[in-house]
Amino acid sequence: MLRVSKLTDYATEVMAALAAAPARVHSAQELTERVRLELPTVSKLLKQLASAGLIESFRGVNGGYRLARAPERISIADIVIAMEGPIGMTECSAQAGSCDHESHCGVRVNWQRINQAIAGALAGVSLADMIKPSPRRRAASIPLRVVGA
Amino acid sequence: MLRVSKLTDYATEVMAALAAAPARVHSAQELTERVRLELPTVSKLLKQLASAGLIESFRGVNGGYRLARAPERISIADIVIAMEGPIGMTECSAQAGSCDHESHCGVRVNWQRINQAIAGALAGVSLADMIKPSPRRRAASIPLRVVGA
DNA sequence: CCTAAAGTGTACCAAATCGGTACTGATTAG
DNA sequence: CTAATCAGTACCGATTTGGTACACTTTAGG
């Protein structure tokens, strides 16, 4: 199945939890209780999200994490990229030289277009969208139809 | 990196090779030479593509494989699904009951929307599109818009 | 019929990835 | 100075992935 890693999945849950109270600083411990995961796991992904600049960290007593931007300005693409690196559906479509088929592979360029389509789909959903219970509203703005079918 | 498996990648190359001469029957051996992979590997994915109904197989001497439909009527989504199963970016968004967070996870429904957007992006590119050298033409209709970054 | 060309099915193995854990260090409020 | 809390590193086990091996079936053609 084409899917993101569990860590990425968890990351969206944690980000959603942070987005529920964007102004407050949440400790890793508190977030752990919200998403029902082990502390080291939550800790690890929080660190990753922080180094990607999606959340701010505060050390020391009463420290914790807080969204770096408004939930409307953080997209699922941001989270996926923070956790898994650049979106590239195939090795060679992400960086050149990584695949020795390049010379005779006619589909590479087209995979790059697909990457962009998928990045667009992920970028079109914000964290604010994710915490809305109803899939109505901005849902319609997700680009669905692409080319042919 | 969010990506499809190598086998899926190879499968698109093999399908592209088949699409280059849709009427002819190609042996696995011949396709192996085109995509520069090992025969058992090509053989394995051809079998999988055949059982998904994307290609037809012919046994015996002068046997081989042929596209089951016109290249315009086979999408990248078809190939990805044939190789990796249903598109579901998270465990729980594909089938219910597979995740014990369901009760307190507010983002599940929204992942389902994202799945559909991605499936749409993949369904929108046909095999015929993939073998076109120029990324021009209908390319412009792929939604590109990005939110934050 | 017999043989060779070709696909089918099953099983298996090594390497990479992934998810998780442990432990130690650094920072800061009180 | 102490406790709370984030940061960094290292490691481990399980799963997945990619690849290989081998025995079986089907079919065209002599």
Q: Do B143 and A110 touch (CB under 8 A)?
A: no
Strand stretches in B5-146, DSSP E = 55-58, 64-67
Q: What is the pLDDT of residue A110?
A: 82
- Residue A3 is predicted with a pLDDT of 82
DSSP class per residue in B107-149: THHHHHHHHHHHHHHHHTSBHHHHT-S-S-GGGGGS----S--
Average pLDDT over residues A30-51: 92
Give tens-digit pLDDT for B6-47: 899 899 999 999 999 999 999 999 999 888 889 999 999 999
Q: Where are the alpha helices (DSSP H) in chain A?
A: 6-19, 28-35, 39-51, 76-84, 91-94, 108-123, 127-130
pLDDT in the model for residue B85 = 87
Region A105-125: mean pLDDT is 83
Phi, psi of A142 (to 5 degrees): -70, 125
Chain B positions in Cβ-Cβ contact with residue A145 (cut-off 8 Å):
120, 124
Q: Which residues contact A57 (CB under 8 A, 6 or more apart)?
A: A46, A47, A50, A63, A64, A65
* Span A67-80, average pLDDT: 95
The amino acid present at B42, given as its one-letter code, is: V
Residue identified by tokens 């389509």 is A117
Residue A9 has pLDDT above 70, yes or no: yes
Task: Region of B102 please: left (phi>0), alpha (psi -120 to 50) or beta.
Answer: alpha
Give the residue among B19, B26, B30 at the shortest CA–CA distance from B132.
Answer: B19
Bridge partner list, B126: B75
Contact: A113, B135; criterion CB under 8 Å: yes
What domains can be seen in chain B, in order of their start residue?
6-132 (1.10.10.10)
Residue B115 has pLDDT above 60, yes or no: yes
* pLDDT beyond 90 at A36: no
Residue A27 approaches strand D within 7 Å at CB: yes
Q: Note the CA–C1' distance, A6 to C15, in angstroms.
A: 21
Q: Interior CA angle at B87 toward B143 and B95, to 5°?
A: 130
- Residue A75: pLDDT above 60? yes
* Strand bridging mode B64-67 / A55-58: unpaired
A69 CA → C15 C1’, Å: 40
Q: A126 or A133: whose pLDDT is higher?
A: A126
Residue B138 gets which letter from DSSP?
A: G
From the list A51, A77, A79, the residue with the least C-alpha distance to A65 is: A51
